[in-house]
């Protein structure tokens, strides 16, 4: 279990020569701790480094200054195997580009994720119900290249929720959804996070995930 993610003076390398613009940032160039069980919304306009921050936290990029620790472990020192393990058991991610496999159906995309995240005997969530709750049950067996962007966004969200996690990282998770779909997604996210005792960290450009309850809002 990962209890905390600690950031210390993190800044994308691309902004290294323009540090002054982040003087009032509540995320970059200062100490920040994300704790398990909490909810965080990171607000910023486009181009401020939201997706970069998500990539740093998801360990798919290392071009940043400062330090990111998963509990005591520096992300820069983790091996491929350790990173894969964290992605399967501790850190779920919904990327802005969704990154679904168009060659597979919606359900196959989710099942592929669950296949590597759970042991054979381990109980798995009933994801078919989630498709129903998010209003895309009729798209479950359709190849992803035949889904709309909004439908894909919900499939990608189900895929992220389907795995065990301590932190759920969502990069503009409702950017292609209407308010009703936003609320349906937020409810499902809140239930799943509560079930696992996990933290939810999401980014927003003015269309935030409509989570009920306390959310720590941070400006990038």
- Give the footprint of another protein on this chain (CB under 8 A): 58, 60, 80-81, 84, 87-88, 93, 95, 99, 101, 103-104, 108, 111-113, 115-117, 159, 163
CB nearer to another protein: pick between 84 and 195: 84
Smallest gap from Cβ 33 to another protein, in A, equals 25
Nearer to another protein, 45 or 62 (CB): 62
What is the rounded distance in angstroms from the CA atom of residue 131 to the CA atom of residue 119? 23
E-strand ranges in 56-193 read 64-70, 73-74, 91-94, 167-170
Q: Which two tokens stand for residue 11?
A: 């800044």
Nearest approach in angstroms of CB 76 to another protein is 17
Instruction: Identify the three-state secondary structure at position 95.
Output: coil
Q: What token pair was written down for 170?
A: 């969502």
Output helix, strand, coil percentages for the chain, rounded to the nearest 5.
40, 20, 40
- Shortest distance, position 111 Cβ to another protein, whole Å: 7
Q: Which is nearer to another protein, 22 or 167 (CB)?
A: 167
Of 81 and 119, CB closest to another protein = 81
Q: How far is the CB of 177 from another protein (least distance, A)?
A: 22
Q: Are 85 and 75 in contact (CB under 8 A)?
A: no
């Amino acid at each position: 279990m990962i209890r905390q993610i600690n950031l210390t003076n993190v800044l994308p390398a691309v902004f290294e020569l323009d540090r002054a613009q982040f003087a009032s940032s509540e995320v970059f160039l200062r100490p920040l701790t994300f704790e398990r069980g909490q909810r965080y919304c990171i607000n910023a306009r486009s181009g401020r480094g939201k997706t970069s921050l998500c990539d740093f936290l998801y360990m798919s990029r290392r071009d940043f200054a400062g330090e990111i620790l998963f509990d005591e472990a520096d992300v820069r020192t983790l091996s491929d195997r350790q990173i894969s393990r964290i992605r399967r058991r501790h850190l779920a991610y919904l990327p802005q580009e969704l990154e679904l496999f168009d060659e597979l159906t919606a359900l196959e995309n989710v099942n592929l994720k669950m296949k590597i995240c759970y042991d054979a005997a381990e109980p798995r969530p009933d994801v078919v119900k989630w498709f129903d709750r998010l209003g895309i049950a009729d798209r479950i067996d359709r190849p992803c290249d035949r889904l709309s962007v909004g439908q894909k966004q919900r499939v990608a969200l189900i895929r992220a929720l389907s795995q065990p996690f301590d932190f759920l990282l969502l990069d503009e998770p409702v950017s292609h959804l209407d308010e009703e779909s936003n609320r349906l997604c937020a409810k499902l996210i809140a239930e799943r996070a509560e079930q696992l005792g996990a933290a939810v960290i999401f980014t927003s450009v003015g269309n935030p995930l409509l989570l009920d309850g306390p959310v720590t809002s941070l400006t990038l």
